[in-house]
Amino acid sequence: MRTSWGSATDRGRVRSLNEDSLLAYPPVFMVADGMGGHSAGDVASRLAVEEFSQLAGRTSASPDDVHQCFHRTATRLRESVAAGRTAGTTVAGVAIAAHDGGSYWLVFNIGDSRVYRLSGGDLEQISVDHSVVQELIDAGELDPREAVGHPERHVITRAVGTGAEPEPDYWLIPAGTSDRLLICSDGLTSELDDGALRSILASVADPQEAAQQLVSSALQAGGKDNVSAVVVDVAVATDSPDVENTVRAPDRGATEPGPDGAWDDEIDGATIPRPTSQRQTSQRPEVP
């Protein structure tokens, strides 16, 4: 399956450092939103991108390939973060997968970065957040419309690097010829609702322009967090032979330190792990 894609990331208008990192290089497209403060978060998200980059250039990736990337990221995080410190990262994305002779999207997620699919004009969120707010919605205790302003909206319940072994969720879905996928950090979805996402994705044909417009719209809406977007299109047979060979170097977020080399974990918009004392065990959905 041939794809074309675009990506954009920005530290936003409040934060001094971009702790998001992203990768857009077939067969893998992903976003990682690091956390930990004092430049540990950007290290965590960059490690994830480095490990998933090992799949770059293949025609497809298997669930085991992707799971190994999660495993290696967690191992390297444990080794590279100083004792007594915590660093972690969300990881959400898609890999092109071959299954029963057909092309599929292998969607993967840990945390509250997201994967959406625009198909036939409809926008559908495929990944399910690992967050306190999502748990409250699932339990029927919170109306989804109230999630945006919820005080615990940035508290996530799973991440790579905060526990023992990462527990990603996976979905294997058939790829459609008109699919457009969006992979993004919560800095995008906390500023733009689904209607705004759909409007840009449905109206901007070029994936690079679409990614840039999504990010700039989030900045205009406040830009309170780092914001990242990767847009992936299925490139059906076209008269442009360049599509197949347009391979861009892996992208990642800027990593310049803040004025004092530090930032505040409590700043509005920061993704933060749930305190260990509140951690609950949640059932891992079946891998298809």
Is 225 among the residues that bind Mg ion (CB under 5 A)?
A: yes
> Is residue 10 within the footprint of Mg ion (CB under 5 A)?
no
Q: Of 10 and 135, which has the nearer Cβ to Mg ion? A: 10
Report the alpha-carbon distance of residue 151 to residue 268 in Å, rounded: 10
**CB of 96 or CB of 159, closer to Mg ion:** 159
Q: Minimal distance in Å, beta carbon 128 to Mg ion?
A: 17
In the bound state with Mg ion, the residue whose beta carbon lies nearer, of 27 and 88, is 88
Candidates 77-85, 92-100, 184-192, 256-264 — which segment interacts with Mg ion by CB under 5 A?
A: 184-192
CA gyration radius for the chain? Answer: 18
| Site mask for Mg ion (CB under 5 A), range 67-106, x = bound | ----------------------------------------
Identity of the residue, 33 or 129, whose beta carbon is nearer to Mg ion in the bound complex? 33
Q: Which stretch binds Mg ion (CB under 5 A): 10-18, 61-69, 115-123, 271-279?
A: 271-279
Two structure tokens written together for 49: 């991108």
CB contact set of 231 (below 8 Å; sequence gap of 6+) = 5, 6, 7, 180, 181, 182, 201, 207, 208, 210, 211, 214
Closest CB to Mg ion among 187 and 207? 187
Using CA atoms, how far apart are residues 235 and 221, in angstroms rounded to an integer? 31
* Nearer residue to Mg ion within complex by CB, 81 or 218: 218
187 binds Mg ion (CB under 5 A): yes
Distance CA 85, CA 17 (A): 19
For residue 68, report the phi and psi dihedrals to the nearest 5 degrees: -65, -35
Please tell me whether residue 51 binds Mg ion under the rule CB under 5 A.
no
186, 191, 233, 251: residue in contact with Mg ion (rule CB under 5 A): 186
Q: Which stretch binds Mg ion (CB under 5 A): 6-14, 39-47, 246-254, 267-275?
A: 267-275
Q: Which of 33, 51, 65, 251 binds Mg ion (CB under 5 A)?
A: 33
- Residue 233 makes contact with Mg ion by CB under 5 A: no
Q: How far is the CB of 186 from Mg ion (least distance, A)?
A: 4
User: According to the binding rule CB under 5 A, does residue 271 interact with Mg ion?
Assistant: yes
Q: Is 169 in the site for Mg ion (CB under 5 A)?
A: no
Report strand pairing: 272-273 vs 155-156.
parallel
Task: Give the interface with Mg ion as residue ranges (CB under 5 A).
Answer: 33, 185-187, 225, 271
